[in-house]
Amino acid sequence: MLVAIGTGKSKISIMIENFLTEQLAKIGLKQEEFSEILIRLLDYGVICRDESQVEAMLYDRYLQCDSLVEDYLRVLAMRIQHNKQFAFIRVYPPGADVPGMIDEENSPFSGGFRSRPTQQEVAVILVLREEYEKALREGQVDEKGNVMLSLEGLAIAMNNLLKRNLPEGQVERKRLFVRLRQLRLIQFNMDDELESEESWLSIQPSITSFVSEQVLNGLMGDTVLTEENQQPEKDTIVASALFDDTALAGTSLEDNTVEDSTLNDNEDQERQ
């Protein structure tokens, strides 16, 4: 079944479904296989080939029907960014500010399927982006575009750049890193003790499409998201399928706590 809104089928929806079925048949794909790509994109906002066997399969399948996926989402005024070098695709809602992609027809909107990040998540993402940029300048990037960073290094950078600390509790810290992994911004070993300074994480290349250059360039000279200045600047993070940029301003940590239900229990199974 294709992704659809509502339960009934109009003549137009039947025509669209028939057209897709015909086009998919030409490349040897079924409707269910096409829907799996869309559902994953709308649910996660990103598909990264190196993340798991499931996402590798979906990414390779996307390459077979990329034009159909883009046409389908274009009806909803949504855009796809495809990074062929590092093999990931990310979907953006109407009006999102995406580096290198101009959307003059649609303005940003609040709500929808974009969830609000906590202040802590925004702060860590900004620091990770700065650390990734520094590694690029120093040539410390592997062949897949990943950058290794120790937990101790992240904590030091957090304090130096934003005067903030990582969550002290093991549960809160793990929840934070699982959330960032869901956004395909980092990778880490779930078995590691995240309270240990010897733990390491891998910053993924997709972070470059998540934080704008303008924000990155201004980070060193600003007090964005320090403990003394809790209010983030509007458009701090590039608006994406999982980020509501208009909701960042004027919100508190209490309003934006991450529920345990957001942690996807199936991710560990996918890696097996």
Residue recorded with tokens 């949504």: 78
| pLDDT tens column, 182-230 | 888 999 887 666 666 678 999 999 898 888 666 667 655 554 444 444 4
Query: Higher-confidence residue: 97 or 92?
Result: 92
Q: Which of 5, 73, 48, 120 is nearest to 271 (CA)?
A: 48
Query: Which residues in 35-66 are b (16+ Cβ under 10 Å) and which e?
Result: ebbbebbeebbbbbbbbbebbbbbbebbebbe
Structure tokens at 238: 């590039």
Q: What is the pLDDT of residues 144-194, one digit of tens each?
A: 899 999 999 999 999 998 899 998 888 888 889 988 998 889 998 876 666
- Closest by CA to 218, choosing from 207, 200, 198, 232, is 232
pLDDT average, residue stretch 48-57? 94
Spatial strand order of the sheet with 186-188 comes to 147-150, 200-203, 186-188
- Domain spans of the chain, in order of start: 11-92, 119-271
E-only strand ranges, 128-179: 147-150
Contacts of 100 (CB under 8 A, 6+ apart): 81
Evaluate if pTM is beyond 0.75. Answer: no
The counts of H helices and E strands in the chain are 9, 6
